[in-house]
Amino acid sequence: MRNYKFRLYPNLDQEYKLQNNLNVCKWVYNKFVEQAQKSFLSRNDMNYILTELKQSESWLYQYHSKMLQMVSTQLEGTEKALIELNKKGYKTGQLRFARYNEFRTFTYNQSGFKLNNNKLFLSKIGDIRIKKHRDTPDNIKQVIVTKSKSGKWHACITCELVKMNLPKINFLKSVGIDVGIKSFAYDSDNHSTPNPLNLKKMLKPLVRVQRKVSRRKKGSNNRLKAIQHLQRIHERIVNRRNDFQHKLSSIYANHYDVVFVEDLRIQNMMKNHRLAQSIMDSSWSLFLQKLEYKCKLFVEVPTRNTTMDCSRCGNKVPKSLAVRIHRCDKCNLVIDRDYNASINILQKGLKIFSQNKLPQELRKVTPVEISKRSMKQEANTFRRW
């Protein structure tokens, strides 16, 4: 399965119908939550409740039936997520009702849609102009319509791809990546990418607009306008962050077959309140998630002593966060601390594969073979891009 996201440009009548669909789905969702707070509901139970609602509320027949049924699927996923959080020891309350402007998606599954060149047909709505900037497979399974906080409409189209063979993985094209605040990504080929820190750059206009929102009278139109301006700024920050991460992750996915990263505990790192804002602004989890689904092989290695260990001799060199240079007293190695950490991550990952039995489609290699050829040859290729 693969998702394709496109921008929708509905007219006034279509935008009214799209918003009406959101309101109806939110109403059905709250009806399910009202029953779920009394006892656990399965997906079949919610569909029976929906049938009874249609008999008592005849106006529900004006909306696409499959779209209303997908609300039960959405609530079932929420219930399963709460159960998993309880198993992990997190304190969770009951399901909450969806408030106004909080319910932002509805789904057309299996039927009720058709995609042409520049038009997306949705049942009960009509043909909506769509900005189709790339081709999609013909086998479309479902369409998810979303509304952003700034008022923009998007369609996420899910397509089923033809079955493909497993890619051949060359361990000579391996790289270790160390993520950080000063350098967003420093790899074992001595290539550093500076951190854009998009939130930090937009703090001044963000604070200015937040001040305007707090000064406006609650419930007034001017307050709604100020809130929408604030949401546009947040959306701009998110778009810049995603654009940067997609471009960088695509570079690594195109030039390397195997990518090794640290298994970070970001929630524990957030306890340092001096760095918490920069850590959240960097959004390492989203970047690693993009790497995971783009790369042929994505491996997380333990984080223990990746910064302290010397990448040449293995000697431990303790250092604080203020010390940016790694200086080994034993072998006299002087390199950037992030570069040293990325090499250690690469060596740890290769050690894991050399000790364990590799799958049949992966040939056996040794860390020595990769350290001599790959780290020099691939560095030149990467810099040309």
* Residue with the two structure tokens 């894991």: 352
Stretches in the chain below the pLDDT threshold 70: 164, 356-385
Cα–Cα dist 350/346, whole Å: 6
The string over 168-183, giving b where at least 16 C-beta atoms fall within 10 Å of a residue's C-beta and e elsewhere, is ebbbbbbbbbbbbeeb
Residues 6+ apart with CB under 8 A from 384: none
Burial of 374 (0-12, 13-18, 19+ CB in 10 A): buried
Q: Quick one: pLDDT at residue 195?
A: 92
Q: Quick one: pLDDT at residue 356?
A: 64
Q: Quick one: pLDDT at residue 375?
A: 37
Q: Quick one: pLDDT at residue 99?
A: 84
Q: Quick one: pLDDT at residue 41?
A: 82
Residue 281: count other Cβ atoms within 10 Å of its Cβ. Answer: 19
Q: Quick one: pLDDT at residue 79?
A: 85
Cα–Cα dist 118/357, whole Å: 50
